[in-house]
């Protein structure tokens, strides 16, 4: 039997290394983003069914990766899942990363924070083993994440099982915003150790990881066995447009009921065409719609006027930016990449030219900009949360073509508005001049260029101008 003094002393030491702001129910995260009522129903069901072992195709998976573009609603889904599991009395531990936060923006306190949450929820055997570890090795927190996971999570769970704990009572760990951890190498290590701790399949533990598909994270998951890993991509398969429309309709109805100037809001506001425009602009990303709603709902302004500003019908006053939160996200992503000027040339090539020709075809862009094959895909990996390179079937013969697809329709508005994008501004005149100069230098290469880009023979290079 463990000495009582050891148990208390060890547990008190553990508490000194806890990032309490990373809990799903932390006071620091009061009113965190979560899924609006009756939205994301299919995704939530798929995740909870996986946790409960109800999905035949994911029953063997012990780790699930939820990924999607910036602003797609990953954290809201993770928060909602955490609240559901908490209400169902699962043994839950969470860590919500937050970029640039001294405690949540690094992984230093990840394992100890998870261990603390499990220690206060699981039977006392787990807590006693963790406390004993701290008593016997007070410097455990200075060791590698792998060593901490083994000593503070895996070994206490094994001892708990040996004490008669039923493996039917699943333990769930949720790690959200892994891409917001400050070191890409550490991000990959967290994925690796998650798989390592579950490799022998002897723990009643499942791990949900939510993140953007950044290149280091994607590469790490791609190396993992399919038998252990389940994936959910927040893409068009989950009908996010319908969820966004439902969210907007509900929020605008709340404004019409609760806003101080509600008596001046027309009954039919907003019109269906306005909702259609907002849904289209969102591109399935909830950050756009939540930003719009916060702006329109301001108690100090007329909602009808503010919506007209969002829709471009009215001009905002100086210093008033309805998309400040969204702009900060775009700016942060673009500031963190190398070769941003070349990336903007590629984005501009897609944004500024009509979709009737294959200007978004990777081979065409690479040939036109004198890039080596594969360069576009490598460059776009740096902005994978905004831009994707996808396989598309568009030729008469059904051949596969890699294209560049912009995941946020509002990114175009940002880049073409100098007051918003500042040094990332796409100057239409300058960009078209650049492309015209490139056209002139490529005229002699036209036949081979069309062949490389899989363009139709009738396409004229001068249609770019």
Model pLDDT for residues 139-193, shown as the tens digit of each residue: 999 999 999 999 999 999 999 999 988 766 689 999 999 999 999 999 999 999 9
User: What integer pLDDT is reported at residue 458 of this predicted model?
Assistant: 34
Helices and strands counted in the chain (H then E): 21, 7
Lowest mean pLDDT among 14-23, 103-112, 173-182, 347-356: 347-356
Averaged pLDDT score across all residues of the chain: 88
Distance (Å, whole) CA 350 – CA 327 = 20
Cis peptide before 355 (omega within 30 of 0): no
Percentage of the chain modeled with pLDDT above 70: 89
Residue 444 binned pLDDT confidence (cut-offs 50, 70, 90)? low
User: What integer pLDDT is reported at residue 307 of this predicted model?
Assistant: 96
Alpha carbons within 13 angstroms on the beta-carbon side of residue 455 total 27
Distance (Å, whole) CA 233 – CA 229 = 13
> In 10 A of CB 389, how many CB atoms?
18
Domain with CATH 3.40.50.300 in the chain: 10-233
Strand partners, 388: 405
**Integer Rg of the chain from CA:** 25
> In 10 A of CB 9, how many CB atoms?
15
Residue 439 binned pLDDT confidence (cut-offs 50, 70, 90)? confident
Residue 125 binned pLDDT confidence (cut-offs 50, 70, 90)? very high
User: What integer pLDDT is reported at residue 356 of this predicted model?
Assistant: 54
User: What integer pLDDT is reported at residue 274 of this predicted model?
Assistant: 96
- Fold (topology level) of 336-445: Arc Repressor Mutant, subunit A (1.10.10)
Residue 78 binned pLDDT confidence (cut-offs 50, 70, 90)? very high
User: What integer pLDDT is reported at residue 440 of this predicted model?
Assistant: 83
Secondary structure element (H or E) that encloses residue 231, with its range: strand 229-233
pLDDT of 306 higher than 50: yes
Lowest mean pLDDT among 148-162, 268-282, 383-397: 383-397
User: What integer pLDDT is reported at residue 4 of this predicted model?
Assistant: 47
Distance (Å, whole) CA 387 – CA 365 = 15
User: What integer pLDDT is reported at residue 462 of this predicted model?
Assistant: 43
CB-CB contact of 115 with 156 (8 Å): yes
DSSP letter assigned to residue 17: T
Secondary structure element (H or E) that encloses residue 65, with its range: strand 63-67
Q: Would you mind telling me the total number of residues written for the chain in this entry?
A: 465
pLDDT of 225 higher than 70: yes
Residue 61 binned pLDDT confidence (cut-offs 50, 70, 90)? very high
Residue 31 binned pLDDT confidence (cut-offs 50, 70, 90)? confident
> In 10 A of CB 432, how many CB atoms?
15
Q: Which is it for the CA torsion 83, 86, 90, 91, positive or negative? A: positive
Residue with tokens 């929020």: 251
pLDDT of 398 higher than 90: no
Which pair of tokens denotes residue 452? Answer: 């490389």
Residue 327 binned pLDDT confidence (cut-offs 50, 70, 90)? very high
Residue 251 binned pLDDT confidence (cut-offs 50, 70, 90)? very high
Domain with CATH 1.10.10 in the chain: 336-445
How does strand 205-211 pair with strand 63-67?
Answer: parallel
Is the pLDDT higher at 449 or at 178? Answer: 178
CATH class of 10-233: alpha beta
CB-CB contact of 301 with 44 (8 Å): no
User: What integer pLDDT is reported at residue 353 of this predicted model?
Assistant: 75
Minimal CA–CA distance to 124: which of 112, 132, 113?
Answer: 132
Angle, in degrees to the nearest 10, between helices 324-335 and 286-296: 140
Which pair of tokens denotes residue 253? Answer: 């109805």
């Amino acid at each position: 039997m463990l000495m009582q003094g050891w148990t208390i002393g060890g547990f008190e030491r553990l508490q000194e290394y806890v990032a309490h702001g990373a809990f799903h129910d932390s006071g620091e995260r009061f009113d965190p983003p979560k899924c609006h009522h009756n939205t994301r129903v299919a995704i939530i069901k798929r995740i909870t069914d996986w946790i409960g072992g109800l999905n035949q195709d994911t029953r063997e998976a012990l780790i699930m990766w939820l990924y999607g573009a910036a602003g797609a609603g990953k954290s809201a889904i993770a928060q909602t899942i955490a609240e559901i599991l908490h209400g169902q009395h699962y043994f839950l531990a969470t860590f919500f990363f937050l970029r640039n936060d001294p405690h949540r923006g690094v992984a230093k306190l990840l394992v100890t924070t998870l261990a603390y949450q499990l220690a206060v929820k699981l039977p006392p055997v787990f807590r006693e083993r963790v406390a004993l570890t701290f008593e016997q090795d007070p410097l455990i927190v200075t060791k590698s994440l792998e060593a901490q996971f083994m000593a503070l999570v895996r070994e206490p769970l094994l001892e708990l099982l040996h004490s008669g704990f039923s493996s039917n009572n699943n333990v769930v760990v949720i790690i959200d915003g892994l891409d917001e951890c400050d070191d890409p190498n550490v991000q990959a290590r967290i994925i690796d150790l998650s798989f390592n701790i579950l490799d022998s399949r002897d723990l009643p533990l499942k791990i949900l990881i939510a993140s953007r598909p950044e290149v280091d994270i994607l590469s790490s998951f791609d190396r993992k066995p399919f038998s252990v890993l389940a994936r959910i991509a927040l893409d068009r398969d989950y009908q996010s447009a319908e969820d966004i429309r439902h969210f907007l309709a509900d929020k605008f109805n709340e404004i019409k009921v609760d806003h101080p100037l509600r008596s001046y809001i027309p009954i039919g506001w907003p019109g269906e065409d306005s909702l259609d425009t907002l849904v289209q602009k969102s591109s399935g990303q909830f950050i756009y719609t939540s930003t719009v709603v916060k702006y329109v709902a301001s108690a100090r302004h007329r909602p009808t006027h503010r919506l007209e500003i969002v829709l471009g019908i009215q001009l905002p006053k100086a210093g008033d930016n309805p998309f400040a939160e969204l702009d900060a996200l775009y700016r942060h992503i673009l500031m963190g990449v190398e070769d941003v000027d070349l990336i903007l040339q590629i984005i501009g090539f897609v944004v500024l030219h009509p979709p009737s020709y294959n200007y978004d075809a990777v081979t065409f862009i690479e040939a036109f900009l004198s890039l080596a094959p594969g360069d576009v895909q490598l460059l776009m990996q740096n902005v994978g949360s905004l831009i994707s390179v996808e396989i598309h079937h568009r030729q008469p013969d059904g051949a596969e073509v890699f294209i560049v697809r912009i995941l946020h329709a509002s990114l175009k508005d940002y880049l073409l508005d100098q007051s918003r994008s500042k040094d990332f501004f796409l100057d239409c005149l300058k960009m078209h001049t650049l492309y015209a100069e490139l056209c002139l230098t490529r005229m002699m290469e036209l036949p081979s260029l069309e062949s490389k880009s899989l363009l139709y023979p009738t396409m004229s290079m001068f249609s770019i101008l």
